[in-house]
Structure formats: structure tokens, C-alpha cells
A and B are shown apart, each in its own frame.
Chain A
Amino acid sequence: MARMNVNPTRMVLTSLKKKLVVAVRGHKLMKDKRDELMKQFLELARENKALRENVEKELMEVYASFAVASAVMSPQLMAEALMYPTMAVSIGVSVRNVMSVNVPVFEFTDEEDTGNIYPYGFAGTSGELDSAVKSLSQVFPHMLDLAAREKQADLMALEIEKTRRRVNALEYVMIPRLTETIRYIRMKLDENERGNQTRLMKVKDMMLEQAILERREETENLLHDS
């Protein structure tokens, strides 16, 4: 891994060391987050699979009963019967935080809940339509549940993808690069230190040699005088 382009100084070394500590800690946290998200996501996905199969099956039954109803009644009559619904469904959306993913929670409220799901009088309509509407109103809460869960799965998948990228970036790019650079600076500083030491030793030797020479000259002079 290529090292960063930095000056090999003690100050940079200190700051890089701090960065490395942060990166390692961040990596651990991200990894934990990814694992937990994954665990929850897989659980959710398994439940969703069963729920979707169930809802699709029930919806097909609803369609079948509507088909029967439309066979008995004329299309105009049916459209007329269903024209004014008794229930006006509206949903409140609140946000739930699952592992830092904000998922919407749907709470559905029937306005004008009269307890009567049939938006028509029984005189002009067939019994088949009644059962079709009844089964649809039974499927509906499941459809709502499915919507919330599928949205949650989508959002969690996005978050897992992001977290996984971050983990990989830290693990395979940031941390190796930082360690490499720290190693480089340490080597460079050590090398400078060794260079300095030899230089000092050399200077000391030279100074010693000079002192010896001076001393020798002095003695020679003294001897010469006497």
C-alpha cells in the first residue's frame, strides 16, 4: 500500500498515530454495526418472504371473489356500489430508529369508523360482492404491514451497503496506509538519529586527535626549551 506524502517529522508522526487509533476504533465500531444490521436484516427478510407469499395468496383469493361478484352484477352496478367508500383510510407516519436507520412506521386510522365496511345498501347488490369486500378488508392490514416491512428492508439494505463500504475502506485502505506511513517516518527518524550519532562520534574523534596533537607540540616545546 502506498504511503502518504508527508514530511517525516516527529509532529506528523504524533498526529498520524492519533489518526490510526481513531481509524482502528472506528473500524471496530463499524464492523459491529454491520454485523448487527445484517443479523436484523436477515431476520426481517425471512419474515418478509413469508408475509409476501401470504399476502399474494390472499390477494389472489380477493381478486377471485371480485371476479365472481362482477360476473353476477353488471359493471355499472358494481362501480356504483363501490363509488362512495365508508372508510377513508389515512395513515400517520412516525419514524423509528433501527440501528441508526430511520424507518417509517405506518399507523393507520379509519376516519368515520362506523363499523360497517360495506359502502352500499344490500338491496341492489349481490352477496358475492359482500364477501369480496369483507375478504379485502381482512387482507388490507397485512398489505400495510408488508409495505412497512419492505420499506424497512430497502432502507436497511442501503445502510448495510454503506457500512460495508466504510468497513472495507478503513480495513484495506486507511489503516494499512497509516501504518505504512508511520513505519516510514519512524525509519526515517531512526536513520537521522543514527547519522547524527556517527557524525558526533566522528567530530569527537577529530577533536580528540587535535587535542593530542596540541599536547604533543606543547611537550616538544617544553623539552626543546629545557
Chain B
Amino acid sequence: MYKIGVIGDKQSVSGFVAVGLSVFPCDDLEKAKAVFHRLAECGEYAILYLTENYGKDMSDDIEKYKDMQLPAIIPIPGMCGSYGVGVGHSKKAVERAVGVDIIYGNQE
């Protein structure tokens, strides 16, 4: 059995405790990165949700786990709104598969 982790700023993620997820509030990017790598590599977590205010500066770190079966790293918007990181990742996947983005193209 695997667990689900949520990484992000305290304000955004605190609510997720209520639905039974493991929550890791981080105050700054450095700490978020450290926690992120620790969780991704320990193999106990199948899904890691990452708020976009950190996710936007961690695309290299996210990329590293992209081709592995687990964990699934999913950027979600934080309290301060969406930075388009999640959409950006799906966009990249489409670009990788098709060559050009034909699905998210007209958004930006």
C-alpha cells in the first residue's frame, strides 16, 4: 500500500490533512526541494501533489521522475492561484509525443 503526499506552503496544504493525506508544509523553495526528493525516492508515496508556487521553480526536479512508473508528480494550484505549471507539463507531454502541441496550443 502506498501513501499520498502533499508538498507546498503551509496555508495551501493544511486542509489536505482532513482527507487523510500526508502533508508536508514547507516555508521556502530549498526545503520544498529537499522534502520533495526525499519523498520521491523513499518509494512509499505513489502520488505527490506539489503546489505550483514551488512547482514553477522545480521543473528540473519534476522532470527527473517523469519517466518512472511511480511516483506520479502532479502540480496543483496553491492558495495564490495557478501559474500554469500543471498545464505546462501536459503540454510538454503532448509536444514530446506528437512533435507539436495540438491540444493546449491556443491557450497562451
Contacts and interface: CB of A to CB of B under 8 A. Distances in A.
Contacts of A144: 4, 47
Please report whether the interface of chain A is mostly helix, strand, loop or mixed according to DSSP.
helix
A52 B90 contact: yes
Interface residues of B, number: 40
A29 B61 CA distance: 35
Please report whether the interface of chain B is mostly helix, strand, loop or mixed according to DSSP.
mixed
B20 A87 contact: yes
Contacts of A150: 72, 74, 86, 89-90, 93
Given A67-B79, A154-B66, A49 B74 contact: no
B64 interface: no
Contacts of A160: 96-98
A90 B1 contact: yes
A48 B17 contact: no
Which of B15, B74, B81 has the most A CB atoms < 10 Å from its CB? B15
Contacts of B82: 56, 60
A106 B47 contact: yes
A137 interface: yes
Contacts of A133: 15, 18-19
B77 interface: yes
Interface in B11-29: 12, 14-21
A62 B15 contact: yes
B15 A136 contact: yes
B67 interface: yes
Contacts of A73: none
Given A45-B103, A143-B74, A157 B15 contact: no
Nearest to B21: A89
B69 A102 contact: yes
Contacts of A174: none
Contacts of B21: 89
Contacts of A154: 66-67, 89, 93
A143 B76 contact: yes
A46 B2 CA distance: 28
B86 A110 contact: no
Interface of B: 1-4, 12, 14-21, 46-47, 49, 66-67, 69-70, 72, 74, 76-79, 81-82, 86-87, 89-90, 93-94, 96-98, 102-104
28 contacts: A48-B90, A49-B87, A49-B90, A52-B90, A55-B76, A63-B78, A67-B79, A78-B14, A82-B18, A85-B17, A85-B18, A85-B19, A87-B19, A89-B19, A92-B1, A104-B46, A106-B46, A118-B18, A136-B16, A136-B18, A140-B19, A143-B49, A146-B74, A150-B89, A151-B69, A157-B94, A157-B96, A157-B97
